[in-house]
Amino acid sequence: MTEMENIFKPDDKNIEKAAKIIHEGRTVAFPTETVYGLGADCFNPKACASIFEIKERPLFDPLILHIDDIKKAFMLFKEVPCKAEKLMKKFWPGPLTLVLPKTEAVPDIVSAGLSTVAVRMPKHPIALALIRAAECPIAAPSANKFGRLSPTTASHVAEQLGKGPAMILDGGRTTVGVESTIITFHENKPVLLRAGGLAAEEIEEELGEKVLRPVISGNSLPSAPGCLKKHYAPAAEMKIIKRGDKTEKDKNTAYMAFSEPPEDFGEYGIVKILSAERNLCEAAANLFYMLHELEKAGIKKIYAEEMPHTGLGLAIMDRLKRGSVK
């Protein structure tokens, strides 16, 4: 079997086939609106263990459960504060993950022994159809090797995981392009565990209060075990710069700009523009995709321009910072 032979088009027949694979305790990679996930039956600890094995992911890093109906969240969460329910109603399906105390139904391997579990309802017809057909919540981390770039196409998954997943459903390029925003609650206040595809400002507007940021304030707020310093890393060395900063320039270097090429663009091997219109949603959707392209082109060093720290710029900056840790 070649690398691409486990990529399937997501028609009804193949979604049924994928659901059967999930039932049998094996894994399926599938598209969501954020990035591709590597999914297994969340109630089957052995199947969940194989996710860790395929990704080479440490067991301390818990998985996100994907549901197709808000009601199912109440089987997985023991307590749902009013504010969390408000967010579910407003933003699900969509790129928001909630972390709340878990029920006994959730196996320990899913939550990595924590008393909480992460759940989201993706906004992607193929993901929703698969969850529905599988008749169980699907545990799914991003379908990449641990610490590496997240996949935004089926071939990104195949390149990193090969024949690891029994099947890869090809839904084309994902639209959001960065992972979901993760929110938990501490003393009934919302806490941002990971900046992602839903802007923190939108959550603040819905709740009418500030979302606390544990990383920036360095306080004792809860954190996500998987949000390690080095993560989302391309094979090349990456450096965040401001426009006009001094850089090395040759065919092995690349410049990733927000909206405009640098003056000396001809001297870099490759120049990428995240969004000519300075649209942060478009920039987020292009981020991992373009980093994959640079990786494939064999670029050795990437200079990434600093982005605005608002809206989805926060999620982009988070990925750039973690991807540039040596």
Interface residues with ligand TXA (CB under 6 A) are: 32, 34-35, 37, 61-64, 95, 97, 99, 111, 114, 116-118, 122, 140-142, 179-180, 182, 193-194, 224-227
Of 78-86, 124-132, 139-147, 291-299, the window that binds Mg ion (rule: CB under 5 A) is: 139-147
Q: Which residues contact 279 (CB under 8 A, 6 or more apart)?
A: none
- The residue written with tokens 């459960």 in the block is 65
**Residue nearer to ligand TXA on the CB measure, 139 or 238:** 139
Residue 88 beta carbon to ligand TXA: minimum distance, rounded to whole angstroms: 15
Q: Which does 253 bind (CB under 5 to 8 A by kind): Mg ion, ligand TXA, none?
A: none
Phi-psi region of 149 (alpha: psi -120 to 50; beta: other; left: phi over 0): beta
Instruction: Decide: is 142 part of the binding site for Mg ion (CB under 5 A).
Output: yes
Q: Which does 6 bind (CB under 5 to 8 A by kind): ligand TXA, Mg ion, none?
A: none
Q: Which is nearer to ligand TXA, 32 or 253 (CB)?
A: 32
Indicate the DSSP class of residue 233. B
Binding mask 151-190 for Mg ion (x = CB under 5 A): ----------------------------------------
Q: Residue 97 Cβ, how far from ligand TXA at the closest point, in Å? A: 5
Pairing of strands 28-30, 37-41: antiparallel
| Calculated CA dihedral for residues 307, 309, 313, 319, nearest 10 degrees | 80
Q: Which residue is nearest to ligand TXA (CB)?
A: 226
- CA distances (Å), 214 to each of 80, 219, 230, 310, in order? 21, 6, 17, 17
Determine contact, residues 77/102, Cβ cutoff 8 Å.
yes
Residue 214 interacting entry, from Mg ion, ligand TXA, none, C-beta within 5 to 8 Å by type: none
One-letter amino acid for residue 124 of the chain: H
Beta carbon of residue 232, minimum distance to Mg ion (angstroms, whole number): 7
CB 169 within 8 A of CB 30: yes
* Residue showing tokens 């478009």: 282
Binding site for Mg ion (CB under 5 A): 142
